[in-house]
Amino acid sequence: MAKKPTTSSAPAAIDKATCGQIVLVLQGGGALGAYQAGVFQSLHEAGVEPDWVIGTSIGAINAALIAGNSPEKRLPRLREFWSRMRHNPWTQMLGATPVFGAHVAHGMTMMGGIRGFFEPNPFAWMGPQATLGAESAAYYRTGVLEKTLNELVDFDLLNSGTTRLSVGAANVQTGEMHYFDSREMRLDARHIMASGALPPAFPAIRIDGELYWDGGILSNTPVEAVFDDNPRRDSLVFAVHLWSPNGPEPDSLAKVAARQKDLQYASRAKSHIMRQRQIHKLRHIIAELAKQLPEGVGSNSQISEMAGYGCLTRMHVVRLLAPNLAGEDQLKDIDFSPEGIRARWDAGYLDTSRVLARAPWNDPHDPLEGFILHEAQAGELMPDEDNA
């Protein structure tokens, strides 16, 4: 789908003995998730297969397609999924008309849904006060998504432990973030759907008696799962973000709506990452201080407990940020046009290919730093000021 990157540099090999496990973290964002498929295509062609995939919403679906297939089937299954997500021919034709075509296509998506993903819930027409039941109170039904997932994901393979999968969902009643993890339990289509059950569009999913909504409500950037893991491991983390935290001042109502959505679903990603960086540096400092204790002091149970907060694992985090496309508006996350999907897929492929050619994780870094951030945006790798 994507063109080859315009660079003569071959991707550098990743030394897993040095970098540790390969982790792919995928943010939520509807149709914007095609960018993540392009990211994976570039990694796959470079021979980089993740050990652990973490996702929320559309990121959870892409993650399941990766973890739930053998390496040679992953890219074909991603292509098949995104092919099914494209507008039907009638919507494509109307969407290609000048001036108002995109708005017409968005309207038809909202009225008719997307084959293989969601379809209108006729009971929603009974009005907002109608009692539909906790698992049916939504504008759309997602039974077709369950069928799609069961056709394209091998859940036996997914649960075999070959590639770990974690998907984030929000507990409706407690308001707490919960990660369904294939290392801890058997996952099926319900867990993936729960991660993408964005209200009021999609209905909540009940699992073990509890209702769950889209994890993006609480944390659309699930990178914290890597740092909260027990035990932590050295990792090279590709964190793929779909919503831009940066943007110009909006000067129209349409631009205000688009900017508000960007900020909401960017989910304070950069500040969360920086906070994790601060915490992980403190873990390194504690571990280094513990080494300086006089012999015998470490046997003290209280001191031993405090020293246990230390950690010398090293995390290289490559942050890939999907670019804004010309003409995008507040409904870009339902832009399932072939052109939109192709443009985002290609952007993810090219951005990742540049990063792999650059291989910033091989650069010298402060040995006291346990978290090294590499920012990749606007088609090039930006140096992290603290590590430059």
The pLDDT value recorded for residue 62 is 98
Query: Where in the chain does DSSP place strands (E)?
Result: 21-26, 52-55, 119-120, 140-141, 164-171, 177-181, 205-207, 210-214, 235-241, 315-321, 371-377, 380-382
pLDDT tens digits for range 90-104? 565 555 665 556 666
The pLDDT value recorded for residue 326 is 80
The pLDDT value recorded for residue 309 is 78
* Range scoring the smallest mean pLDDT among 66-75, 314-323, 372-381: 372-381
The pLDDT value recorded for residue 92 is 58
Question: In Å, how far from its chain's centre is CA 272?
Answer: 15
| Cβ burial 86-117 (10 Å sphere, 16+ → b, else e) | bbeeebbebbeeeeebbebbbbbbeeebbebb
pLDDT tens digits for range 106-145? 677 777 788 899 999 999 889 889 999 999 999 999 999 9
The pLDDT value recorded for residue 188 is 98
The pLDDT value recorded for residue 18 is 85
**Confidence label for 386 from pLDDT (cuts 50, 70 and 90):** very low
Rounded-to-integer distance, Cα 58 and Cα 33, Å: 6
In sequence order, the β-bridge partners of residue 118 are 114
Beta-carbon contacts of residue 101 (< 8 Å; ≥ 6 apart): 94, 95
Rounded-to-integer distance, Cα 61 and Cα 109, Å: 19
pLDDT tens digits for range 283-322? 878 877 887 888 776 677 788 788 777 777 888 999 999 9
Number of helices (H) and strands (E) in the chain: give both, helices first: 14, 12
Query: Where in 198-307 does DSSP place strands (E)?
Result: 205-207, 210-214, 235-241
Rounded-to-integer distance, Cα 55 and Cα 24, Å: 8
Q: Does the model's pTM come out above 0.85?
A: yes
Question: What is the overall mean pLDDT for the chain?
Answer: 86
Contact 215, 55 (CB under 8 A): no
Please compute the mean of the pLDDT values over residues 341-352 and round it to a whole number: 96
Rounded-to-integer distance, Cα 159 and Cα 63, Å: 13
Asked if residue 1 has pLDDT above 60, the reply is no
The pLDDT value recorded for residue 382 is 46
pLDDT tens digits for range 137-185? 999 999 999 999 999 999 999 999 999 999 999 999 999 999 999 999 9
Token duo for residue 161: 């432990």
Asked if residue 7 has pLDDT above 50, the reply is no
